[in-house]
Amino acid sequence: MIVTAFDVSRARALTPGCERVIHFNNAGCGLMSQPVLDTVLEHTRLEAMMGSYEAAARKAEAVNAVYTSLATLLNCRADEIALTDGATQSWHRAFHAVPLKKGDRVLTANNEYNSNWLSLRRRCDQVGVSLEVVPSDADGLIDIGALKAMLDERVKLVAITQITNSNGKVNPVEEVGAALRGSGAIYLLDACQAVGQMPVDVQRIGCDLLSGAGRKFLRGPRGTGFLHVRREAMEKLDPMFIDIHSANWTGLNTFEWKPDAKRFEVMEHNIADRLGMGAAVDHALSWGLDAIQERILSLSTLLRKRLSELPGVQVRDQGTRPSGINTFTIEGKDLMKLMLNLRAKGINTSVTNFDWAWLDLKERGIDSIMRASLSYYNTEEEVERFVEAVAKA
């Protein structure tokens, strides 16, 4: 059922955590909805009562439905979806499957997540690959003109993040896809901060690989993630990990990869949590991603306006297209202490520093930044209470 009018009261009634906290940390982990919680607990109890393997067999159809739900969310085929234990795992399985050799080039952007950058740096150094950062434009977004100028036959991979975790800017991912079309480079997109708060259409984006998280704006359980692998790119990739789930043993010394994206999965995983992620996807689809995005952006606009009115507070968001991630600094204030003080009062936020966004923050001369990330179940009243708490600080 699609909800045509956004009913915030209903969204909050289906989110039990709203009774306890003001949760402005959805870019870290969103509050699970009641349907997600019920799904996880139900399957966990089933495992306790009849055994995990037996419970998995009983719920096989429901597990298969998770692939279908994610395919609907991303506008792709169900056999182009792999389920993983988190967004970082999804990204690493994708990245390490891209063949690279000495002399190749890899391009990234200056808002790349630190975990991704560390892996890019280490592998490129090991193989003898040039890792290069595409310059940003005046709005802090990846410069499409500069990207086009850097492309040549040696560029084998372009790996970027759709929404940076440290300033909420939304990169022009469709324009990147258009620029790469026909270049021969693999396009890997980290969409973990985008999926769940806005429509994400892999057909329009044109990416070969897309990694995402279940726990963030999708509001699923921790330890869940997914990877989209475009069918046409499947045979260009060489998965790093292999077990009896991802491949078939065809002879003593031979094997065949699974014909679909399951070649990027492994046998052992938490079925209760994956079913919970499926419930989270279905919950988001029931509201509609356009409606979710409109609601989140409305709240974010209000929050930025109110924060900018406070003395000593500087809103640090970049880009021409806002998102649900809102960042700011306070002159002379220890943001980590402020975060802990707010948490003690039942207000959840997060602080990002060099450990999480070295490239972005160093370029802007910022040591740390406070992040208030909103979901559609948040309210205007919560925004005002948050701003009041920051003002008192």
Q: Give the CATH number for residue 374.
A: 3.90.1150.10
Question: Is there a contact between 104 and 113 (Cβ–Cβ < 8 Å)?
Answer: no
Which stretches of the chain score pLDDT less than 70? 1-5, 166, 318-320, 353-366
What pLDDT was estimated at residue 301? 94
Q: How far apart are CA 226 and CA 195, in angstroms?
A: 11
What pLDDT was estimated at residue 359? 66
Helix intervals (H) in the chain: 8-13, 34-50, 52-58, 60-74, 87-95, 114-127, 144-150, 173-180, 202-205, 271-287, 289-308, 335-344, 354-364, 380-392
Chosen domain end from 261, 286, 311: 286
**Nearest in space to 170 (alpha carbons), one of 204, 140, 208, 215:** 140
Q: How far apart are CA 104 and CA 109, in angstroms?
A: 17
Answer yes or no: do 281 and 342 share one domain: no
Answer yes or no: do 24 and 43 share one domain: no
Range of the domain at 355: 8-30+288-392
What pLDDT was estimated at residue 1? 37
Whether residue 1 lies inside any domain: the answer is: no
Answer yes or no: do 57 and 195 share one domain: yes
Whether residue 375 lies inside any domain: the answer is: yes
Answer yes or no: do 118 and 187 share one domain: yes
What pLDDT was estimated at residue 3? 40
Q: Which helix (DSSP H) or strand (DSSP E) does residue 223 occupy? A: none
First to last CA, the chain: 44
Answer yes or no: do 199 and 340 share one domain: no
Query: How many domains does the chain divide into?
Result: 2
Q: What are phi and psi of 59, to 5 degrees?
A: -100, 20
What pLDDT was estimated at residue 112? 83
How many Cα atoms are found within 13 Å in the side-chain-facing hemisphere of 166? 25
Answer yes or no: do 59 and 19 share one domain: no
Q: Is the dihedral of CA 172, 177, 180, 181 positive or negative?
A: negative
What long-range pairs does 142-145 form, CB within 8 A, spacing at least 24? 142/109, 142/111, 142/171, 142/172, 142/176, 144/172, 144/175, 144/176, 144/179
Answer yes or no: do 151 and 244 share one domain: yes
Give the pair of three-digit tokens for residue 240: 């790093």
What is the DSSP annotation of 87-132? HHHHHHHHHTTS---TT-EEEEETT--HHHHHHHHHHHHHHTPEEE
Answer yes or no: do 155 and 281 share one domain: yes
What pLDDT was estimated at residue 4? 45
What pLDDT was estimated at residue 169? 87
Answer yes or no: do 255 and 164 share one domain: yes
Torsion of CA 283, 288, 289, 294, to 10 degrees: -120
